[in-house]
Amino acid sequence: MKLYDLELSGNCYKVRLFSALAGIEIDIVPVDFMAGEHKKSPVIDLNPWGELPVLQDDDVVLRDSQAILVYLARKYGGNQWWPDSAAHQGEIVQWLSVASNEIQNGPCAARLVDKFGMQLNKERTLEVSDRILPLLESHLTNNEWLALNRPTIAECAVFPYVATAWEGGVDLTPYKAINSWMSRIKELPGYKSMPGIE
């Protein structure tokens, strides 16, 4: 099983983090993003959208980090990270959507501007961050984990771009519950970090 990977991408890190926590072996294939390797064969043949990460597991090929998390957890992760029941799946998908939308367009996009010089509206990325982080803080004030009172793939989807938010100028100091939650994640057996996370 191969993960076409960019080390500095939080979306790729979601998959690396989950595979580390769940003890799933994946061959990491580094893609030279600056050289545009993701727009060339073989990556573009696997994912015509030209985005990373891409997972290839025999004849299964998936783009989108949330989809890859669901696939890996369902296939190799047992019931712990992505359970079987409707209510539990629904509870987790709420956070996959937040990862896809608010976290992506808030702290992730702010980091893309500051760290990689992407031409996005920085003010808007901070507005989105300022809306989602207090909601996350409020949830984590009343809950140790995002869903099911235990670590799930929701953590792997949301944590990477929250933990690197400071690289986009988003200050997490006021968010005590978010900081405690990040500490709990860092203490999970098998936890792996990425550049930008202390």
| Residues that bind a copy of itself in the complex, under the rule CB under 8 A | 48-49, 60, 62-64, 66-68, 70-72, 74-75, 85-87, 89-94, 96-98, 100-101, 104-105, 121, 124, 135, 138
Q: Copy the structure tokens of residue 122.
A: 């920085």
* Residue 59 CB, nearest approach to a copy of itself (Å): 9
Give the nearer residue to a copy of itself in terms of CB position, either 85 or 180.
Answer: 85
Give the nearer residue to a copy of itself in terms of CB position, either 46 or 191.
Answer: 46
Give the nearer residue to a copy of itself in terms of CB position, either 86 or 195.
Answer: 86
Is 82 buried (19+), middle (13-18) or exposed (0-12) by CB count in 10 A?
buried
* Residue 92 CB, nearest approach to a copy of itself (Å): 8
Give the nearer residue to a copy of itself in terms of CB position, either 84 or 187.
Answer: 84
Cα 144 → chain centroid: 18
Radius of gyration of the chain (CA): 16
Q: What is d(CA 139, CA 162) in angstroms, rounded to the nearest whole number? A: 14
Block residue for tokens 């190799």: 76
* Residue 66 CB, nearest approach to a copy of itself (Å): 5
Give the nearer residue to a copy of itself in terms of CB position, either 50 or 174.
Answer: 50
Q: Which residues of 108-121 are buried (b: 16+ CB within 10 A; e: fewer)?
A: bbbbbbbeeeeeee
Q: Copy the structure tokens of residue 181.
A: 């939650």
What is the DSSP secondary structure assignment for residue 145, as one 8-state letter? S
CB 120, CB 143: distance < 8 Å: no
* Residue 167 CB, nearest approach to a copy of itself (Å): 20
* Residue 73 CB, nearest approach to a copy of itself (Å): 8
